[in-house]
Amino acid sequence: MSCCKVPVLIEAQVEMVSANELENKSLFRQEEDATQTKEASLMEQGSLSTSFPQHTPKAPKNSVLNSIKIVIFCNKLNLLLPFGPLAILVHYMIDSKGWVFLLTLVGITPLAERLGYATEQLACYTGPTVGGLLNATFGNVTELIISIFALKNGMIRVVQLTLLGSILSNMLLVLGCAFFCGGLVFYQKDQVFDKGIATVNSGLLLMAVMGILFPAVLHYTHSEVHAGSSELALSRFSSCIMLIAYAAYLFYQLKSQSSSYSPLDEESNQNEETSAEDEDPEISKWEAIIWLSILTAWVSLLSGYLVDAIEGASVSWNIPIAFISTILLPIVGNAAEHAGAIMFAMKDKLDLSLGVAIGSSIQISMFAVPFCVVIGWMMGQEMDLNFQLFETAMLFITVIVVAFFLQEGSSNYFKGLMLILCYLIVAASFFVHEDPHQDGI
C-alpha cells in the first residue's frame, strides 16, 4: 500500500508545483499587462510620447567646400543670389532707386529661404524648446532686420506696414496656397487638422488685434488723458504684455501641450519612422551657426540699400509706399514659409502647414510687432501700435475670416482659393490706398 501511495503523492506534489508556476506566470502577465496599460495611458497623456524619441542627431563631418555645396549650390533658388551684389553695383554706378529696390528685393529672397534652412539645421541640435525659440527669432529675421533699419531711419510707417503685410500675407496668401495645393493633390477628400490648436492660434491672433486696435480707438475717439502721450504709453505697455503672452504661449506649446502637437495616428507614426533619416542634420552645429551669422550679415547689408530705395522706387514706379511695404516686402520675407507650407500640405500634413503659416503670423503679431515698439523705445523713436484706422480694420477683418475658415478643422482647394482671392482684394485695396500719415516715412 505504501508503494502505491508514493507515486500518487509525487504526482500531487508535481501538480501543486505546476499550479504554483502557473499562478506566478499569470501574476507576472498581469503585472506586465498593467505596466503596458500604464505606459499606454502615459503616452496618451503625453508623458511618454512616442512621437518625441530620444534621438541624438549625428553631426556630419563636412569640409568647407562640402558645406558650401550643401548650403549654396544644392538649392535652385540660390541662382538669384548674384542679384544682391548687382544691386550694390547699380546703386553706386547708376543710382537708380527703382532698379536698386527691384534687384535688392530679388537678391534677399534666396537669403530668407537659406536663413530658414540654417535655423532648422541648428534646431536639430538644440532640442524642441531652444529650437522653438530659434524659430521664433530667426523665422522672421528678414522682416525684423528691415524693420530695424527703417526704425533707425525714422521710417515708422514702413515698419508698421511691413509687419502688417507680413501678417496678412501669412494668413491669406501662404495658408491659402497651402490649402489650395493640398486640396488639388487630395481632391477626393477634405484634409483635416487639429481643431483645438487652430482655436488657440485664433485666440492669440485676436489678442494681437486687441493690442493693435485699442491705441487706434483711443486716438480716433480723442479720449486720451494726456494728448499725444497716452497712446504711446498704452502701446508700450501693451507691447510688454504681448511679449509676456508670447513667452507663455511658447512654454504652453513646447512643454505643457507637447503631446497635442504630435500626431497620434499609426500612419503618421510610420511616416515619421520612415522620414527619420530626413530629420538628421546635413551640416554640423557650428556650421549652422557660422552660416546663420553670414546670412544675417548679408541680409542686413542688403536691407540697408532696400530701405534707402523705397521712396525712390515709389516715385519712379508711381506705386504707393503702402503697397510696396505691405505687399511686396512681405512676399520676399515669407518665401521660406510659403514654400514650406505648400510642401507640407501636399504631403497631407496640414498641422505642419498651419504651424508654418499661422505660427508665423503669431510670431510677427505677438513678438515682432511689440519687439519693434520696445526697440524703437530704446532708440528714442515713437513707434506705437496705432496702425491707423484703414490698416487696423483690414487686420481685424482678416483674422475673423481666417478664424471662420479654421473652425471646422478641415480644408480643401475651394477654401484655399477663397483665401487667395481675399488676399488679392487686400492687395488691390492697398494699391489704391493713399496713406495720410506719410510724414512718418
> How would you label 292-324 residue by residue, b for 16+ Cβ within 10 Å and e otherwise?
beebbebbeebbbbbbbbbbbbbeeeeebbbbb
Cell representation of residue 191: 484634409
Bridge-partner residues for 411, per DSSP?
191
Least confident of 80-89, 266-275, 295-304, 335-344: 266-275
> How would you label 224-240 residue by residue, b for 16+ Cβ within 10 Å and e otherwise?
beeeeeebbebbbebbe
- Residue 299 — very low, low, confident or very high, per pLDDT cuts 50/70/90? confident
Least confident of 54-68, 173-187, 293-307, 409-423: 54-68
Distance separating the N- and C-terminal Cα atoms of the chain: 116
The pair phi, psi for residue 146, each rounded to 5°, is -60, -40
Bridge-partner residues for 192, per DSSP?
410
Which candidate, 292, 338, 324, 391, places its Cα nearest to that of 146?
Answer: 324
pLDDT value, residue 437: 65
pLDDT value, residue 86: 93
Q: What is the mean pLDDT of residues 256-265?
A: 47
The three state secondary structure string of the chain is CHHHHHHHHHHHHHHHHHHHHHHHHHHHHHHHHHHHHHHHHHHHHCCCCCCCCCCCCCCCCCCHHHHHHHHHHCCHHHHHCCHHHHHHHHHHHCCCHHHHHHHHHHHHHHHHHHHHHHHHHHHHHHHHHHHHHHHHHHCCHHHHHHHHHHHHCCCHHHHHHHHHHHHHHHHHHHHHHHHHHHHHHCCCCCEECCHHHHHHHHHHHHHHHHHHHHHHHHHHCCCCCCCCCHHHHHHHHHHHHHHHHHHHHHHHHHHHCCHHHCCCCHHHHHHHHHCHHHHCCCCCHHHHHHHHHHHHHHHHHHHHHHHHCHHHHHHHHCCCHHHHHHHHHHHHHCHHHHHHHHHHHHCCCHHHHHHHHHHHHHHHHHHHHHHHHHHHHHHCCCCCCCCCHHHHHHHHHHHHHHHHHHCCCEECHHHHHHHHHHHHHHHHHHHCCCCCCHHHC
Cell representation of residue 228: 499725444
- Residue 129 — very low, low, confident or very high, per pLDDT cuts 50/70/90? low
pTM: 0.76
Length of the chain: 441
Alpha-carbon separation of residue 428 from 277, 312, 320, 438 (angstroms): 44, 21, 11, 19
CB atoms near residue 269 (< 10 Å): 14
Torsion of CA 125, 127, 133, 138, to 10 degrees: 30
Q: What is the mean pLDDT of residues 179-184?
A: 92
Does the pLDDT at position 139 exceed 70? Answer: no
pLDDT value, residue 7: 45
pLDDT value, residue 402: 94
Does the pLDDT at position 148 exceed 50? Answer: yes
| Mean model confidence pLDDT for the chain | 79
What distance in Å separates the CA atoms of residue 52 and residue 125, rounded to the nearest whole number? 14
Top-confidence residue, 363 or 38: 363
Bridge-partner residues for 191, per DSSP?
411
- Residue 168 — very low, low, confident or very high, per pLDDT cuts 50/70/90? very high
CB atoms near residue 425 (< 10 Å): 10
Does the pLDDT at position 342 exceed 60? Answer: yes
Which candidate, 289, 298, 259, 281, places its Cα nearest to that of 107?
Answer: 298
pLDDT value, residue 269: 45
Top-confidence residue, 377 or 275: 377
Least confident of 117-126, 229-238, 362-371, 413-422: 117-126
